[in-house]
Chains A and B, each alone.
Chain A
Amino acid sequence: MSAIVVRDLCKEYGTKVALDNVTFEVQEGSFFGCFGPNGAGKSTLLRILTGQIQQTSGEAKVLDLDCRTQGLEVKKVIGIVPEVESPPSYLTASEFLYFSGKVRGLADLDKRIERWLEFFDLQEARGTLCRDLSKGMRQKVMLASAFIHEPRILFLDEPFINLDPIYQRKLREYLLQLRAEGRTIFLNSHILEIAQRLCQEVIILDKGMVKARENMDSLKAKGEDLEALFMRLVGGTDVRSP
């Protein structure tokens, strides 16, 4: 069954075309990566799929829910880690998880909160407002909020970017565990080495268009890695200093 269906998706901001006829499907239970240079349209795509903004034309469905008309229903069944780590300034980490859980109508919330505070080592930050946490800690709070209801699909926009190597590894292992459990993960990232280890399928976006869609096993069989493919498709082979 397809967890995500995208057909002829277009998004325009005034005269700027952010997405141009994007089409792909993601099977349920797969780890799907979306890559591209800055400004390629990755975050716009993720925001449309998570019901945050509406497309100009085309179709976007998540678990058979229309992202344009059923955005709120989509948000109930997914977890989102946004590009910018911005938990509410005046709640503590555990209060935000309590808030997030209550908004989602979760039961046994105390147990869930304890689990995620412990997982991300946030217990010591009890009593500290999110505005006073470091970037990495704020990122952990947003991750915990996305995981707390154990969603069927996770949409992650650069989830590793502010984490230290220990938590990058811990998160990687947890995401692989989710994949093994049959959950779907949609990842936007610039860190190609991590993506190479995690993703089963990828698309490469450039200037709003899908430049390639590859299965990672097929790519390996061709003797190419993600970085080489990325560089070949979107340029940037010259890495000398300016």
Chain B
Amino acid sequence: MFDLLRLMLKEEYRTHIGYSSARVFFSLPVYVFLIAFFLGASLPIMQSSIRVNEMLLFANAGVFVYGMSVGAFGFLGKTYLERRQGRANFLVAMPFLLPFTFRRAFASMLARDVIFYVVLIILPGLGGVLLSTLFVHYKLASIFLAFIAVLLSFLLGISFSFLVSVLYVRSKYLFMAIVGVFISMLFGYGLFGLYKLDAVLPSLAFQDSVPPIANDMPGAILFLLESVALVLAMSSLAVLSVTQEPLGHTEKVRERFPAYHSAFRFARSYQTLLAKEFTDMVRSGALSKMLLAYVAPLVFLSFTTWYVNHGLAIPVGFNVVFYAAMVGFFGIMVYSWLTNLDAIDYYETLPVSVPKLIRAKLLSFFLLTTGISTGFVLMIAFANNETRLLWIALPVLYIMSAYMVIATAYLAGLSPNSMLFNPSIMTRFSVVSLLPDLCITVLSFSIDRQPLFAALGIGLVCFALLATTLLFARGLERKWSRAGFA
């Protein structure tokens, strides 16, 4: 077990240094450490506009969603297995050849990723916050308790995601049932206000029971045990649910590609590549997963805003313009999925360039998400009685989404996942993404008090973003024309 885990950690490390270099890879925890230090040191300033319990709520909910996004081993493991005969070959495919089970391989993958993300991201985050105590006054006990809560939130997210992805491979109906229960629980919290988010996320309940929020130790121990029990139960059930024949049987399919090709005639020189992208999406099952990955955070976000505004009656000032800007961030996940549909080595044999494939994936992104994101912004506007802001929210949505995804494509090409582990790209991405988002957030807060000033400011930011988007789009050819597919 431990030998396999050690080898998998080595494999993961080598995969990631393949994206950049060992030096760049090891600067990631340093980057996280510095960000955490900066946030920790500036917390007292932020406390004037957002309370500590709200910050901890966002931290735990955010880390839970992050854990969910990295825990889909069921999907990923299956993808690796399907690619076992291509250039990429992974240890998780070795049970085909060596005497150990897929269950052991998948359990090791879970342990590997928990170690990987905790060591690279969560522990350096703790270190940064600890360092900030030299400059601001925090109780060390509160920091450690917050660390335990965040760690539990991450473990709950990763194990839940692992479980549902494994169940998806076994039975689509079971997967739908579990996801349905989870979404219903979110509805119960966000839409009907039947209970607090604590009831859905016991790690948050633990956080809410300990200092600096409260001092209910018996309650905290109960929620701590509940969280640990849930993590163990979901992980064990997931490992036990891994099938010994994870590839399933060969199925016959209907020849759809020519029909898709005709349907995308409007895309002209991108017709063939778009037809291929959509065929891949449908047949790999990624279409529903992508839509779920895009819609779930939007639903979560809209319930949170509705609950904060109406349930808790806290006037935090987040309005539909703010959410329109936020949607752009979720688009990056969809682009990331689009670049991971299949191995693309075979493009080396065809007269297709990397920039052209990137543009085809960007087109697919816009075709897939524009309707959903528009619907989301309309829904938020109607739910919060902010339809008067739609004239500015919709342009912000389209410009911000285009800007974020084209900036991602420019910076990371066909490997956006590398962005997460390459601090050099991540720093550039943070600068190009957080700065405009911060401007729009600040301006959106004042849109009701100073509408003309805010609208002019947002207009200027949008104009600058549009110009930068065009520069990024044009730069794709120059930056990626010499890149290869393999």
Binding site for B on A (CB under 8 A): 47, 50, 52-54, 72-73, 75-76, 79-82, 84-92, 94-95, 98-100, 102-104, 126-129, 131-132, 135, 138, 142, 145-146
Contacts and interface: CB of A to CB of B under 8 A. Distances in A.
A131 B82 contact: yes
Contacts of B388: none
B343 A86 contact: yes
B352 A103 contact: yes
B81 to A, nearest CB: 10
A52 B257 contact: no
A127 B352 contact: no
Contacts, number: 107
B353 A80 contact: no
Interface of B: 82-83, 85-87, 250-258, 261, 271-273, 275-276, 279-280, 283-284, 341-343, 345-346, 348-353, 482, 484-486
A80 B250 contact: no
A72 B353 contact: yes
A98 B283 contact: no
A88 to B, nearest CB: 6
Nearest to B286: A90
A73 B486 CA distance: 19
B82 A88 contact: no
B83 A89 contact: yes
A75 B257 CA distance: 23
Contact of B342 (A76, A89, A146): A89
Contacts of B341: 90
A89 B286 CA distance: 13
B250 A132 contact: yes
Contacts of A102: 261, 271-272
Contacts of A47: 348
A98 B257 contact: yes
Contact of B482 (A54, A91, A126, A142): A54
A88 B350 contact: no
Contacts of A79: 349
A103 B343 contact: no
B87 A90 contact: no
A86 B345 contact: yes
A86 B86 CA distance: 6
B253 A92 contact: yes
B86 A127 contact: no
Given A98-B261, A102-B261, A135-B85, A91 B350 contact: no
Nearest to A89: B342
B353 A90 contact: no
Nearest to B352: A103
The 6 closest A-B pairs by CB, nearest first: A95-B257, A90-B283, A75-B351, A80-B349, A132-B250, A127-B252
A50 B351 CA distance: 10
A124 B352 CA distance: 29
26 contacts: A50-B348, A52-B484, A52-B485, A75-B352, A79-B349, A80-B349, A82-B348, A82-B349, A86-B87, A86-B345, A88-B342, A89-B82, A89-B83, A90-B279, A90-B283, A90-B341, A95-B255, A95-B258, A103-B273, A103-B350, A103-B352, A104-B350, A127-B254, A128-B252, A145-B349, A145-B350
